[in-house]
């Protein structure tokens, strides 16, 4: 009984840590250069698992073929996406995208779809010439997204 009483604070701390990691925050390591110059290979990010309100240009972590990928949301459900002459067009209107000038011409019809289906997002890496993203794998499902990230644990700093 004394051992259990002495161990109780450690057990409570362990339970709290497990709950926080399972439902709120967890570390994620960037693997590869598809998000360079924004993120670097080996960078350690804090993933916000509780954040489920995804917006354009959010950086998300999602599951794809038993891997965790880190990409930026470009297109939202119900939208059309096109890159032409270094300009991003959403639903036919130009949108300021700081990485657009590095992007080859692309439109959703290349994937045999007209609009991003409900419950799906169009994602791209910031290193557009070296990224396996929605231009190749297609839109990703909401269910595959684990959360967003805005903070790097190593090196320490906020992510734009």
**Distance of alpha carbon 76 from alpha carbon 69, whole angstroms:** 18
Q: pLDDT tens for residues 14-67?
A: 887 777 777 778 999 999 999 999 999 999 999 999 878 899 999 999 999 999
The single-letter DSSP state of residue 116 is: P
For 117, phi then psi, to 5°, come to -65, 155
**Distance of alpha carbon 151 from alpha carbon 159, whole angstroms:** 6
Q: Is 152 a catalytic residue?
A: no
Of 19 and 72, which is predicted with more confidence?
A: 72
Domain that holds residue 93: 27-153
The one catalytic residue among 2, 7, 34, 109: 34
Q: Which CATH number fits the domain that encloses residue 44?
A: 2.10.109.10
Domain assignment present for residue 11? The answer is no
Domain assignment present for residue 73? The answer is yes
According to the model, what pLDDT value does residue 42 have?
95
Q: What domain count does the chain have? A: 1
Q: Is 101 a catalytic residue?
A: no
Domain assignment present for residue 136? The answer is yes
Domain assignment present for residue 66? The answer is yes
Name the pTM for this structure. 0.89
The one catalytic residue among 71, 131, 134, 152: 71
Domain assignment present for residue 54? The answer is yes
According to the model, what pLDDT value does residue 60 have?
97
């Amino acid at each position: 009984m004394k051992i259990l009483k002495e161990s109780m604070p450690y057990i409570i701390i362990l339970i709290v840590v497990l709950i926080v990691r399972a439902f709120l925050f967890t570390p994620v390591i960037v693997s590869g250069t598809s998000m360079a110059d924004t993120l670097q290979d080996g960078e350690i990010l804090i993933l916000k698992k509780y954040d489920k309100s995804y917006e354009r240009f959010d950086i998300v972590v999602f599951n794809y073929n038993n891997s965790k990928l880190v990409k930026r949301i470009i297109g939202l459900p119900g939208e059309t996406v096109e890159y032409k002459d270094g300009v991003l067009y959403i639903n036919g209107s130009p949108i300021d995208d700081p990485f657009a000038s590095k992007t080859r011409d692309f439109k959703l019809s290349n994937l045999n779809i007209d609009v991003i289906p409900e419950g799906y997002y169009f994602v791209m890496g910031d290193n557009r010439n070296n990224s396996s993203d929605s231009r190749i794998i297609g839109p990703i499902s909401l269910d595959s997204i684990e959360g967003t990230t805005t903070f790097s644990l190593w090196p320490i700093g906020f992510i734009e």
